[in-house]
A and B are shown apart, each in its own frame.
Chain A
């Protein structure tokens, strides 16, 4: 049984995502100690520093999605099943920094697909309570684990179907956010593929730093951030950083 991490990384005109990837890969190697495959394009690849043993898969990212007026290349996550060379795959956003080995254990379960429904706001403002913005629970496609097999394949087929009829499903479930979000594409697909009742989830809240927090320092052990005039830090705790200025820290 092979296990590994699958990452998606595409630079845009506004954000040098490859710099975030370089930080993320270093932490995966240090803390998760798993093989890594990066899905990217030649333009992004050409800017990367040597990262040691990392597999690369090249695709042309689908364009057209935006976030806060900026280009957002996030719509290829549905291809994770076909692109992963592993039997059990941990798919992570590159701005999720694993300062612990907490995620590694989830690759040893019997579950075919695991994803978290909850994020935890590190500034204690409860910014990520998304339940009231749609008729279904949102999931956080920031981190998920799947095992190749019929069930996971069916879920990914459903994600592709939801993606191709995205506006219809957003209307059906009265989702307020109209951009394409993997979080809702997976939430709807899991709902549909699991008989509209319930599905297995990761029992963790993803520690998340809201976009209005400026990261001041990022090292091997944790991060320091500023929010208004407050400075705070965490160490040895995973963190999902939403402020893309982290590429310049």
Chain B
């Protein structure tokens, strides 16, 4: 492989790496939800916490929002549904986009 081809491959890898980072940042923005007038991240940590609390503690449960303020969640099942929906919407969109990265890299 000559140096020109190496540079081309390197440029392509750089483009893909940036596109991937931007796509991941897009996921992070999309994971933010507003519920009960407070802001949460629909990430795996929040989902696991709500699921665990909902299964093991009678409603209402109490959570901290992204600014560290306490929130009463009277319906953990509904909250969990909202979180999962947003999480999967964001990550499935990322999954679709990642296929285009693979194609560009082939």
Contact = CB atoms under 8 A, between A and B. Distances in A.
Given A203-B39, A232-B15, A102 B32 contact: yes
Interface stretch (B17-25, B51-59, B73-81): B17-25
Contacts of A232: 15, 18-19, 22
A46 interface: no
Contacts of B25: 120, 205, 207, 237
Interface stretch (A33-41, A103-111, A153-161): A103-111
A231 B12 CA distance: 10
Contacts of B33: 105
A238 B15 contact: no
Contact of A109 (B19, B34, B93): B34
Main secondary structure of the interface of B (DSSP, over half): helix
Nearest to A114: B39
Given A207-B22, A238-B29, A230 B34 contact: no
A135 to B, nearest CB: 23
Contacts of B18: 122-124, 230, 232
Contact of B34 (A100, A105, A207): A105
Interface residues of B, number: 24
Contact of B28 (A200, A205, A229): A205
B89 to A, nearest CB: 12
A110 B29 contact: no
B14 interface: yes
Nearest to A233: B19
Most B-side CB within 10 Å, residue of A202, A203, A205, A231: A203
Contacts of A231: 15
B67 A200 contact: yes
A205 B67 CA distance: 15
Contacts of B22: 122, 124, 207, 232, 234, 237
Interface in A72-130: 100, 102, 105-106, 108-111, 120, 122-124
Interface of A: 100, 102, 105-106, 108-111, 120, 122-124, 200-205, 207, 229-232, 234, 236-238
